[in-house]
Each structure stands twice: as C-alpha cells, then as structure tokens.
Amino acid sequence: MGRYPLCYSGTVKTTSRNVSDFGLLLAKFIVLNIIKSTFIINYCIMKDKLILLMWVSGSGKTTLLTELLQTHSQLILVPSYTTRPMRSNEKNGRKYWHISKDDFQRSIDWWEFLEYALVHQKYYYWTKISEIKKAFDKWLIPITELDMNGLEEIRKDNKWIEYVSIFLDLPDDVMVERIKMRWWIYQEEINRRLFSAQKERKLAKKYCDYVLNTDNTLLQNIKNINKLVKKILNGK
C-alpha cells in the first residue's frame, strides 16, 4: 500500500467514521494538488529557479545571505519553519517561523511542506510550499536555507520543482575556531557539528550544483558568492 490508500479491492464495511476519514483524506489530497498546481503555473510563467543555500557551521551563512539580499533586488528570502526555540536576537517571521511540535505535526498531516529535516539531531526545520508560492506571486526569485537532509528529500519526492543548490564549506579547524569566537559552546555540541559537517560535505559533493569554500576573508567570500549568484540569475 502506498502513501495515498485511495483504492482497495475487497469487501469494506462502511461506517460514518469510514466516510469521515475518507472525506478528510480526499480533502487533504485536493488541497495539496491545488497548491502544487498553482505553484507550477507560476513557476512556468516565471521560468526561474528556487535557490537553495546549505552550509556547515561557521561558514558565514547569515552574513553572506544578508549581502545577497541587499545586492540582488530580485531575490527574496523564504523563511523556514522550525521547532527550535526563538533566540533573544530573533524576530518571528523574519528568517524563521518558530512553532510548536504539534503545529509541525499538523503541517505534515496536511502535506504543506516542500521538505523537512531533523538538524543536529535536535530540532526540525522545514519549508512550506505556500511560502515559495508567495515569492513567485511577487515575481521574485525565492532563496531559502536548507539542511542537506532536506535537499535529499526534495531530490526524491519533489520532481516537479527546479532548483539550484549552493553549499558553503570550510575546513574543520577553521569551523571550530569560528564557532568558539562567536559564543561559548560545549565540546559535545562541537563534536555534533563536526559529525554533521563531515556527513554534509559528502552529500554536497554528490548532489549540490555548487560548493563554495568560505575559508577566505569576508570581503572575498562576499565577492565570490555574489559572482556565483549573478551567474545563476543570468541563467549561465
């Protein structure tokens, strides 16, 4: 039996609960396909691609993404959803929507996500299809942050969307040095991030369109990523 158990050969005892459950499943299926159909229509008109940005800890992702959004007016950040608690310097809806695990489960039940992934074995992050559609409705090119597990899910289950994937990388020793410069952190957490980085690098080399080394000065890193994104926006 597949993901959508709409067909069954045999005798079925019909009850009001059967009908109710079937009706809810059918409603979910219809809503999902309406969202996807609208998204595809917008995409075909735009003929642009979703830009996916992945990274290892300490690669300067936040700074580089801010520079991209300031430099390229046709880009718009698609906020991710997460079960991670909101930090003191964050504002809900700017980069992330911080929601409960119950809301996360409801999002899964209604198939509202493009992908979702468990990051650093701690919190869930995911991208809603409706957020990408909002970007296309504004005739802008969406860019979103994504975990490598999320990219794997898109590759397997979302054949209807085109995208360009960029992975920001740097050596382990530089990564640890930068992390320690930003805040005090437990060695256990550093080890977890190192383990994640090793796994993500292997996947990035196999699946990402571009791997960008950020083991340079900040100005050089900004120059490199702006050059790469300009190339992508020009369709080269």
Residue 1 lies in a domain: no
Give the per-residue pLDDT at 67: 96
Give the per-residue pLDDT at 10: 43
pLDDT for residue 110 is more than 50? yes
pLDDT in tens, 197-208: 999 999 999 999
Q: Which residue has the higher pLDDT, 106 or 38?
A: 106
Residue 8 lies in a domain: no
pLDDT for residue 76 is more than 50? yes
Which range, of 21-30, 157-166, 172-181, 217-226, averages the lowest pLDDT? Answer: 21-30
Give the per-residue pLDDT at 31: 59
Give the pLDDT band (50/70/90) at residue 32.
low
| β partners of residue 115 | 127
Q: What is the mean pLDDT of residues 17-46?
A: 56
Give the per-residue pLDDT at 2: 36
Q: Which residue has the higher pLDDT, 141 or 182?
A: 141
Residue 188 lies in a domain: yes
CATH number, residue 143: 3.40.50.300
CA distance 139 to 213: 31
**What range does the domain containing 91 cover?**
16-233
Residue 77 lies in a domain: yes
* Domain total of the chain: 1
Give the pLDDT band (50/70/90) at residue 46.
very low
Residue 10 lies in a domain: no
Give the per-residue pLDDT at 101: 87
> Mapping DSSP to helix (H, G, I), strand (E, B) and coil, where does residue 145 land?
strand
Q: What are phi and psi of 172, to 5 degrees?
A: -60, -45
Give the pLDDT band (50/70/90) at residue 12.
very low
Residue 125 lies in a domain: yes
Residue 168 lies in a domain: yes
* Three-point CA angle 184, 89, 219, nearest 5°: 75
> What stretches of the chain adopt beta strand conformation (E)?
50-55, 75-77, 80-82, 96-98, 113-119, 123-128, 141-145, 163-169, 210-213
> Using an 8 Å Cβ cutoff, are 133 and 78 in contact?
no
Sign of CA dihedral 138, 143, 148, 154: positive
pTM of the model: 0.73
Residue 135 lies in a domain: yes
